[in-house]
Chain A
Amino acid sequence: MIAVIDYGVGNLFSLQSSLSAVGAESIITSRVEKIRGADKILLPGVGAFEDARRKLSLSGLDRVIVEEVKAGKPILGICLGMQMLFECSHEYGRHEGLGLLTGEVVGMENRLPDSLMIPHIGWNSLSVKKAHPIFKYTKDGDFVYFVHSFYAEGCEDSLLATTDYGREITAAVAKDNITGMQFHPEKSGEVGLNILRAFAEWSYTK
């Protein structure tokens, strides 16, 4: 059972539909006992970092997630949900993340050639850096769908894949039981469904 964390940001309908499509059992929940009882955690998120981070701490779910992940429960963060795994974000000020991974989130503004649009919206290809169970079915060069204006830096120890958008942009991270995708697997066709399938099938041992 995958607990999809519901903390009032983003639309979880497509996410749950995509999990059903790969035969994964999931529950959209904000209840502590459901999260503690689940095999895996999926942390979604769209919108602004500060707002999402505040909602997560107001509900007290941030502490629960950190405890469960430190105890070895696999987690997949998607988009803003991945960005929150890091130490901090510089989106409109400096905001603390969950601190589960080393690295910080920075803006594309002033870091990209002027000819490139912000947000980075569309299908871009993955450059896979290492092997990991969550990329069991994923190949170098596979296309996935991105929508973001901020990205993670200084995360070399967890870097799983990058994409080329004027510079190398962190596309996916994985370290031990912690994984994150900057792109949207639930909107990336077959390639994305296969990543969710691999996450559902993954059995992590510490």
Chain B
Amino acid sequence: MITKRIIPCLDVKNGRVVKGVNFLGLADVSSPVSLAKHYSDSGADELVFYDITASAEGRALFTDILTEVARQIFIPLTVGGGINTLEDFDRVLKCGADKVSVNSGAIRNPALVGEAAKRYGDQCVVISADIKRVNGEFRVFAKGGREDTGMEALSWIKHCVDSGAGEVVVNSIDTDGVKGGFDIELLKRVRELVRVPVIASGGAGTVGHFVDLFSQIPEIDAGLAASVFHFGEIEIRDLKEELRRHNIPVRL
């Protein structure tokens, strides 16, 4: 039986992980390679690396880091941040990324998803959407959640999946950072809308929130989080054991 995926997300700036933490026995907590190894060893099913650098030097550093991670870690790697062109896809795929996540780049150039899917296959293209409620509708936000695009989120996601996106990451701005649980209402809507895997993001604060997510929406494929893992508030192995106790299939 297919298992539910638990995915830590690492924000990388100038070659270092932002929001690093104190893991027992991990000397360099902001080293992307050691943190990735730590997560892989603790049972993470996949890793997302998000490049939040703006400079060209930072970008070059990021691909160096990615190469080093791919040399040592043998689980799927998704890369996002600063993906605006097919050349950007090429750049990160050559360094060992398995999937590429696009967000603002697809909003600026709506043809990007389709072109990338055609060249690299649907399985390679992940559409990541930052979504917030505005005047009673779900809206897509760009630029790291700072800018309201005015676009309705569900039709945007549908458009991207129809163009060839093989996976959807739904990041709820309303629940993100609050640690009050995932945005079940929004996730249910997206789940009913498309037939590709949907990854929930934004709002995880406790192990119970992941249990709620997979119990309330059994067809959701994965849960993604950053700080609860980085700050050691949730250990992936404990989380997976708890999910298993609730009869939620996990890889242990």
A residues touching B (Cβ–Cβ < 8 Å)?
A: 11, 13-14, 17-18, 20-21, 46-48, 115-125, 143, 145, 147-149, 164-165, 184, 186-190, 192-193
Contact = CB atoms under 8 A, between A and B. Distances in A.
Interface of B: 1-3, 5, 40, 45, 67, 70-72, 74-76, 93-98, 120-124, 166-167, 195-198, 219, 221-222, 251
B33 to A, nearest CB: 13
B93 to A, nearest CB: 5
A125 B71 CA distance: 25
Nearest to A144: B251
Contacts of B197: 117, 119, 121-122
Given A46-B123, A47-B121, A187 B76 contact: yes
Given A48-B121, A124-B2, A143 B196 contact: no
Nearest to B44: A189
A122 B5 contact: yes
A45 to B, nearest CB: 10
Given A122-B3, A123-B2, A123-B5, A117 B123 contact: no
B74 A186 contact: yes
Given A17-B96, A46-B124, A123-B5, A118 B195 contact: yes
A116 B221 CA distance: 10
B74 A18 contact: yes
A13 B94 contact: yes
B70 A122 contact: no
A187 B76 CA distance: 6
Contacts of B74: 14, 17-18, 21, 186-190, 192-193
